[in-house]
Structure 1
């Protein structure tokens, strides 16, 4: 069951799609050139969206009415010492520790633990990871994915959003011709899929028997780092796995425009200039630190003072370093979007027979969509012979 906040978000999203379809249907109905097949298709789409809207609204109203009952149920968690904890953060830590410990011991997780962690009271947790734990896993990783500070991150099931957040009544309002061609070729909506992956957190007996804080910190830290590493890997993959091609900036499927220059400094400056001004204003350069050091060494030519200058002053745009960026990427990373389906995040236990270490395993689903390829450029160096 989704959280009340997620249901509200979904209501807004479906409502906007329904409103758009109704508008298109009204236009087709008065257009003599429109075929009855087109009108019937729009009518069917409208009916489907209305049905989905009604289902979500029913879930929203039911959950809202159950909140008081859930609060009373949480008060019964005294046997675990959870309800007696006044600090909400400490209460969550105790509940998470109980979840991890019970799972590793192959014991059922108490209902009140799921309730404290925000799970639905009617399902009693089932095999799904509680919302609090799932949300925390995709935040603040120890292993850093530099795109976390640049890209958009959401956790909405079946997310579908427009590539451009606004439209005008004049179809020619898009000044960038590359963007106009892209929208014409691929449509104006982005639909997020569900790509499965697993993250393993190894837990030794010492950690498992330690304090709640240490257990939770260890498991969440390992899971967060695994998630961040997966995000970074798919976004910068030079040879993406089958089914993950659309997630990589470097994939031939996305075919992001390449800008070449005699050296890296010249190529990056040319790539920034090649972006349309709509994207150039908020453009960022993502590149390897080693590549930036080579640029500085060449530009400095023995002048040590250049090494203390901020990268933004050298290249003209904010610079973010990532060793995964084999070729520098320039663009507006607001059009890079990661979405997680945390409503179906599963957890289980496993054992590494080679080391004897127990594993807390999370199976998650996510997707990375480059909403507009026109908003990015890949930098390549092609020295003049």
Structure 2
């Protein structure tokens, strides 16, 4: 451990001030003042009480309780009871990884059985030690007053008044043992009642599923809300530039329709977040591609669309992800293609028995694209979202400039 000069000029180990060890003393005092120290002692005391009850009601040998608890630890549901007790009494703040599920493997049962043996043993030892400390403190006071010791673990020759000064020492030792035994039990609980490798793997998989679901929801919100806001901004700007009441009415209609669709998506996502156990509502599918194309046309873009194949027979995940990919492509066109009224977008959607192909091309204005990418909104998360969606379905995606066009080409397998 590194050594540092203390404020008093005496070199000491890091964390210990001077020669008095004040931080350690403070930690010990804080431990004595913390409620968890005494809940741990109660947990220990239960083992000693169980052994005492056995001795009171039975005349059999003392090793029988140990055999009984060892066999009880092999019962799968005993691990549930022991885990709940350990969490409530040893780590009520939930800071220690203690499992509360039944034993699944024989390794779990063996660890639970060993835990039961150690709990009974340490409970018995701590209870006997506590009794001896209390008896010694009482006998010191008795000897100082001229009385007779009643069974002190240490010989107390004579009757000396200064025995009374030693009476608090056994109580301090008892308090210290309460702290040490409690920490030892907590360490044993973490090692013996902690989750097994299989349980940790299951928890990690569940956490991964959670993160994937959150990522999927984030993509949904980005694509849906981003598209709606982009259409609204473009339509409002075009209506202001046109100065035509008729065009303004069409723009407001497009903004209303796009906003309503975005609100439906937002409400569906919020339902998933509020009630994750309930199935999510239906997401828009590629059969609704006309809605996206009409929205882009209303924003001034010239859309040359070619749709071939039975879109209504596409698998659900492929159709939904295809819709979101097309939505993100059109959003990027409106956001980066310069003046939308001059953008000619060629969209080709081809569905066969084995694959779905989406090919979106639009004029590529490098200056406009660079200026848009330099703003905070041009973070590239949309294209990254397209690649993530395609990767999840085992497809391929190519995005980037080709000659004078920006192209997004996606192939998705149907099986």
Rg larger in 1 or in 2?
2
Task: Give the shorter-chain TM-score range.
Answer: under 0.3
TM-score by length of 1: 0.23
TM-score by length of 2: 0.21
More helix by share: 2
